[in-house]
Amino acid sequence: MQGNEMERIISYADALREAMCERMRRDERVFLMGEDVGIYGGTFGVPEGMLEEFGPDRVRDTPISENAFVGAGVGAALTGMRPIIDIMFSDFISVCFDQIVNQAAKMRFMLGKNASVPMVIRLAAGGGTGASAQHSQSLEGLFCHIPGLKVVVPSTPYDAKGLLTSAILDDNPVLVFEQKKLYETTGPVPEGEYAIPLGVADIKRAGKDISIITYGRMVQMSLKAAKRLEKEGIDAEVLDLRTLSPLDTSAVLATAKKTGRVLIAHEAVCFGGFGGELAATIAGSDAFFSLKRPLKRLGAQFCPIPSALEIESAVLPGEEDIFSAAKELCL
């Protein structure tokens, strides 16, 4: 999108709200439920004002029982509704693992054309806020391992609105991980409804010397690192995956072949993280023979996230880590 359509600047949180409101106005089957989404307006302010517009039947405050209301969402989706479920912190998804992994993800396969589960689960994820070990994890990689689920991690307000719209329209369960520090970020977002297809990555910055493959909050850090690298004579390409499952494998391999140097960066713990899947995808393809240096992964240290911001920043990867790793790969 170009021109006047892109001149309006709004926040990531506002973009998510717009996507939900536009769909709810068009389709009475769409409704929102979760803890504090109604009267309180949401922990991070995303559904603020929606209760006043749509009423308590379509913006539903729930008890503090993720297992119960996610299960209710699965049932609602199976009977023709299109629920959007708000999980206050992504960490709490562990409470309702069975409903998502063994029920929502499996129903369409087990029942064939007789059933679909068109539900969206929105999750506030990641660190950077000093919220400590039980409120700061990045768990997206766990769900990429489950057939039947789609996993989305928007990095910009524009992507947040377009990807959430596609998620709501999808007939499968979609998990949308919204990294908390992004809610306050702003960017150009056109008015009116639009959808970004799931499974399509986006080159946020073109370059020829090294590929930084990333998603979510790390995209912004990677772009800042790329500006610094440019001053060092290094032209970095930043590939934003946007959707982890389905993965845009062709975009991953194309950028690896183009630059011959690959840095994979995510906020989640490095060990067992999604970066390992990306590394294996490249290593198992003909892109491997284009590599000029062994690829490198960046992620959080293998420990619970501390609450003290100074220690938390030492555990999580940041702009400086990306800059240093990319520079080293280009030596």
Active site residues: 135
Query: CA–CA separation, 214 vs 277, rounded Å?
Result: 12
Q: Strand, coil or helix: what is 159?
A: helix
Asked if residue 137 lies in contact with residue 180, where contact means CB atoms within 8 angstroms, the answer is no
**Own/partner long-range contacts of 19-22 (Cβ < 8 Å, ≥24 apart):** 19/160, 19/161, 19/162, 19/164, 19/165, 19/168, 19/193, 20/47, 20/50, 20/84, 20/164, 20/168, 21/50, 21/53, 22/165, 22/192, 22/193
> Could you tell me the sign of the dihedral formed by the alpha carbons of 51, 167, 241, 244, in that order?
positive
Number of continuous H segments (helices) and E segments (strands) in the chain? 12, 14
Q: Can you read off the two tokens belonging to residue 263?
A: 């840095």
Counting every residue written for the chain, the total comes to: 331
What is the C-alpha R_g of the chain?
20
Q: Point out which residues pair with 210 in neighbouring strands.
A: 236
Q: Strand, coil or helix: what is 258?
A: helix
Residue closest to 175 by CA, chosen among 263, 99, 250 = 99
Asked if residue 194 lies in contact with residue 18, where contact means CB atoms within 8 angstroms, the answer is no
β-pairing, 120-125 vs 82-87, is parallel
Question: What does the DSSP assignment read for 198-228?
Answer: TT--EEEE--SSEEEEE-THHHHHHHHHHHH
